[in-house]
Amino acid sequence: MDNKNDNVMEFSYELYKESVEPLIRYKGLRSLHLIIGHPPFVRNSNGGFEPLSLEMEDDAGHTHNFRFQKITGHWFHNFLNLMFMEYFGLEKEDAEDTLKLYLTGERTQQIFRLDSGTLIYLRMDAGFTGSGMVLTAVPVFEPKLSLPSKIVSLGELLPGLVLFTGCYGSDRAYTMYSLLLAILRESPKKVSIVEQVPRYNIDFVKDSLVMRRIAFDPKTTYFSELLRALTTDVDIICLDDISDPKAFEAALKACASGKTVFGMLGASSIQEALDSILLQYEPSKREMIRYQLSVAIRAIIYQQKVPTTPQVEEAMVPAFESVSGDSLQKFIAGYEPGSSDAVGFIKSVPDDSLSFEQSLAEMLSNGIIDEKTVQIFSRTTAGNSPAKGA
């Protein structure tokens, strides 16, 4: 500690292993960011950034909230060397060679496993703020709140395309893997997961073959890994980003060949998700894509987080809206891109789908949320806007 009066301390590798890593693993911190010339900072469970600080005891046994000094280039290089030797088990010379690969940009990311089974994802960046890295402890996937029965039953409609949409931080990946787990519990499948970054440790699949594809260097792109998955003998392909037209069209081809594709797409409503797909194409091609989508699509699942009651462990949980089956195909066939209103949500759905109000009512009856939350987030409440709950 450099100055006890100011509660400032130097960040160290030992401090990371003993204090920060457990915070990332157990306290909802998503990742640790280390950038030369800046103090360390973290991304919390709500997706926001904040300076890293720790509650620790001083030499007299008093608890203080400590902050950290700016990271120097010398410290940064030494920290990486220690990581490669401690986590990767590399010899000193091999660690130095690996460090050069990262510092020159030849290698940008890597995932590795601790003895405890925890996955750590390392990403190196060089931007306007200087060289830096992001360390993310990939949480073990542990489903706690069950999905609505209408979403679980979507597994009966497959193969085909299932879109998972919602704003950033809505836990779309959690829902995607929850539905995947529900399907795999019924029957083992071959699964290929194509990710730009790992979101969960998915070793929960014991009886199914799961291949995880992450681009670890500039020569291997997300799209190339997707194409490789399409040519592999698998039953289900999970994609963490389906927004690019090339990725989307590849997904449609996979569905046409009899595969199931789970794809995530950032949007604030089901309509906006459809807009983000269709409006990328010229009108002359849009009708063909619309037709292919209407044939391949099985469901669109939208979710938005809402606050829970004090009795629930999680502070926020997703409420859902889904459209599926024949009603979804008819909806897409008659949908006009860009025509969604300011609310932009489906207000009435057939019996085989799930409205946002139905999802709120189900959580209310189970004691997950209270009446006040229903009133705030319900889209039928007079004067209510989705922006209140975004």
Domains and CATH numbers, the chain: 8-138 (3.30.450.90), 149-388 (3.40.50.300)
Q: Where are the extended beta strands (E) located within the chain?
A: 8-9, 31-35, 41-43, 49-51, 54-57, 63-68, 109-113, 119-127, 130-138, 161-166, 190-195, 209-214, 236-239, 260-266, 297-307, 316-324
Contact 53, 67 (CB under 8 A): yes
pLDDT score, position 186? 84
pLDDT score, position 388? 34
Instruction: Name the pTM for this structure.
Output: 0.76
Long-range contact pairs involving 142-148 (C-beta distance under 8 Å, separation at least 24)? 143/174, 143/177, 143/178, 143/181, 144/313, 144/314, 145/314, 145/317, 145/368, 147/175, 147/178, 147/179, 147/182, 147/320, 148/320, 148/322, 148/354, 148/359, 148/362
Burial of 78 (0-12, 13-18, 19+ CB in 10 A): middle
pLDDT score, position 203? 64
pLDDT score, position 381? 53
User: CA neighbours within 13 Å on the CB side: how many for 2?
Assistant: 9
pLDDT score, position 387? 36
pLDDT score, position 150? 87
Length of the chain: 390
Could you read off the pLDDT tens digit of each residue along the chain, which spans 390 residues? 344 446 788 888 888 877 777 777 666 677 888 888 888 988 776 667 888 888 777 778 888 888 888 888 888 888 888 888 887 788 999 989 988 888 887 777 777 776 666 677 788 875 444 578 888 777 778 777 678 888 988 888 889 999 999 988 888 999 999 999 888 888 888 888 888 777 787 765 545 566 666 544 455 677 777 788 777 788 999 998 899 999 899 999 999 999 999 999 999 888 889 999 999 999 889 989 999 999 999 999 999 999 999 988 788 889 999 988 777 887 887 777 776 543 445 555 566 688 888 899 999 999 999 999 999 988 765 444 443 333
